[in-house]
């Protein structure tokens, strides 16, 4: 029963965060297909999207997540472009 309460609590927190325009750390991990510990490591090293701490939880503004994703966009190298011509 305790596990069910934790799942319900997490689902409610996710919904509330999303309604406010944020993602939870677990949602960012799910999106990136990494473990939540990896997102925590990014946060500690300053490598991931900007975050907000509220109480003991970390939240990621959806616009900041989008901006971070765009910053990861790789351009084709000049060599790859020339090969495709």
Is the pLDDT assigned to residue 1 strictly greater than 60? no
pLDDT (0 to 100) of residue 61: 98
Altogether, the residues listed in the chain come to a count of 85
- pTM of model > 0.75: yes
pLDDT given at position 79: 67
CA geometry: angle at 43 spanning 23 and 8, to 5°? 35
Question: For the residues 33-50, what does the mean pLDDT come to?
Answer: 96
Task: Grade residue 4 by pLDDT with cuts at 50, 70 and 90.
Answer: confident
Fold of 2-84: Arc Repressor Mutant, subunit A (1.10.10)
Is 80 exceeded by the pLDDT of residue 60? yes
Average pLDDT over residues 40-53: 96
DSSP at 85: -
In angstroms, rounded to a whole number, what is the distance separating the alpha carbons of residues 50 and 67?
A: 9
């Amino acid at each position: 029963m305790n596990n069910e309460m934790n799942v319900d609590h997490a689902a409610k927190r996710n919904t509330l965060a999303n309604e406010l325009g944020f993602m939870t750390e677990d949602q960012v991990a799910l999106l990136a297909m990494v473990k939540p510990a990896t997102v925590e490591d990014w946060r500690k090293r300053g490598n991931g999207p900007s975050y907000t701490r509220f109480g003991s939880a970390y939240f990621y503004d959806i616009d900041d997540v989008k901006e971070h994703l765009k910053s990861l966009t790789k351009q084709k190298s000049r060599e790859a472009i020339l090969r495709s011509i």
